[in-house]
């Protein structure tokens, strides 16, 4: 009916009102393994797990901030933090929503962690809501750079965490 069709087609402003801020945000890219965190309580718990004592968080690095679910809680605590993101669409959102945030385009598997630690003046505190398919290579990258990583808070699928914590040969 005509009444029902009006509900299907909304102006952009109506969508924003109906859906909140999500209406003006790009969808996740499957090719990048993106899956955006939407649970505010979970985001706050993840951020609370990071403890960086220093000059405003200059050593805090967030890999793959996406739309900023963790970043919006991190940045007030660590104003000198850096967000490293590969997706230019997400960089534009972060720059728009948090203009004082230092955002750089980077591939999490290609970043030279030692050079980054040297540039920041000390071991890094890393946080990431890592895409599933990048979890293992990213964890191995961090293990290979243990001398320049103070701590890492990484979200991952439960099965991956259990495998990482299991006894050898299991």
144-159 per-position pLDDT tens digit:
999 999 999 998 888 8
Structure tokens at 87: 């997706």
Note the pTM of the prediction, 2 decimals. Answer: 0.77
Residue 30 buriedness (CB in 10 A; 0-12 / 13-18 / 19+): exposed
Structure tokens at 116: 């980054």
Structure tokens at 126: 């890393």
CA atoms of 77 and 27, how far apart (whole Å): 28
91-135 per-position pLDDT tens digit:
998 999 999 999 999 999 999 999 999 999 999 999 998 877 788
Give the residue, 73 or 31, on which the prediction is more confident: 73
Segments of 55-148 assigned E as strands: 60-63, 82-85, 102-105, 124-129
Average pLDDT in the chain? 81
CA atoms of 36 and 69, how far apart (whole Å): 8
CA atoms of 73 and 48, how far apart (whole Å): 9
Helix/strand/coil for 39 = coil
pLDDT at 129: 87
């Amino acid at each position: 009916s005509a009444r029902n069709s009006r509900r299907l087609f909304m102006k952009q402003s109506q969508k924003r009102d109906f859906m909140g801020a999500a209406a003006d945000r790009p969808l996740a890219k499957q090719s990048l393994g993106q899956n955006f965190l939407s649970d505010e309580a979970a985001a706050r718990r993840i951020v609370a797990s990071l403890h960086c004592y220093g000059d405003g968080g200059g050593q805090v690095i967030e890999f793959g901030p996406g739309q900023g679910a963790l970043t919006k809680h991190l940045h007030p605590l660590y104003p000198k933090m850096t967000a490293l993101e590969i997706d230019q669409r997400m960089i534009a959102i972060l720059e728009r929503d948090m203009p004082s945030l230092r955002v750089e385009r980077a591939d999490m598997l290609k970043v030279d962690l030692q050079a980054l630690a040297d540039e920041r003046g000390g071991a890094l505190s890393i946080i990431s809501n890592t895409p599933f398919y990048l979890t293992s290579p990213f964890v191995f990258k961090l293990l290979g750079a243990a001398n320049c990583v103070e701590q890492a808070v990484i979200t991952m699928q439960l099965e991956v965490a259990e495998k990482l914590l299991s006894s050898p040969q299991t």
